[in-house]
Amino acid sequence: MSEPRFRPAAHADIDILVPIVREFYADEGIPWDEAMLRDALDALLSDPGNGRLLLIERDGALAGYIVVGFCFSLEFGGRYGLLDELYVLPSQRGGGLGKLALAEVEALCQREGLRAVRLEVSDDNEHAHGIYQRSGYDAHPRRLMTRWLDESA
């Protein structure tokens, strides 16, 4: 296998990306709403201030994708990156692709002048926990909580 290529996604990539995001959401038990996803992808790709969507390609095929949102925190002294989604297709896993993707996220955030990268990982995903910890990410003794402001969400 060749070295992976990380490239910024464009609006033209949305149709090839949607089924892969659907697969990721099914794996993670995330509710699926294709219209909402397409709107969010459009907003992300239309405004670079929101963050970045990178496609991971290897041997000319889509191997996965990365979404980094840009946030602000007093605790972090300003802007930081939120690794919102990192998904590698099952057929592309192994060989350190996840670790390379994390390095790409960190380089992207440094280029943007961000001070930190945060991520969320499911409590039961021990494999991902190991990858993140070996890459220098530490768990904070806090629990992420959410309140949806739109009752239909």
Q: Does residue 105 belong to any structural domain of this protein?
A: yes
Residue 142 lies in a domain: no
Handedness of CA 120, 116, 17, 153 (dihedral sign): positive
Percent of the chain with pLDDT over 70: 97
**Residue numbers of the domain that contains 43:** 5-134
Question: Could you tell me where the DSSP H helices lie in the chain?
Answer: 14-28, 34-46, 97-111, 126-134
Nearest to 20 by CA among 53, 68, 52, 43: 53
Number of domain units in the chain = 1
Lowest mean pLDDT segment, chosen from 11-15, 55-59, 69-73, 122-126: 122-126
In a domain, 42, yes or no: yes
* Residue 140 maps to a domain: no
The answer to whether residue 54 is domain-embedded is yes
End-to-end CA distance of the chain: 40
Asked if residue 151 is part of any domain, the answer here is no
14 three-class SS: helix
Q: How confident is the model at residue 39 (pLDDT cuts 50, 70, 90)?
A: very high
- pTM given for the model: 0.90
Could you tell me the two tokens for 14? 């949305």
Complete edge-to-edge strand list for the sheet that includes strand 61-73: 5-8, 51-58, 61-73, 78-88, 117-119
The CATH number assigned to the domain holding 84 equals 3.40.630.30
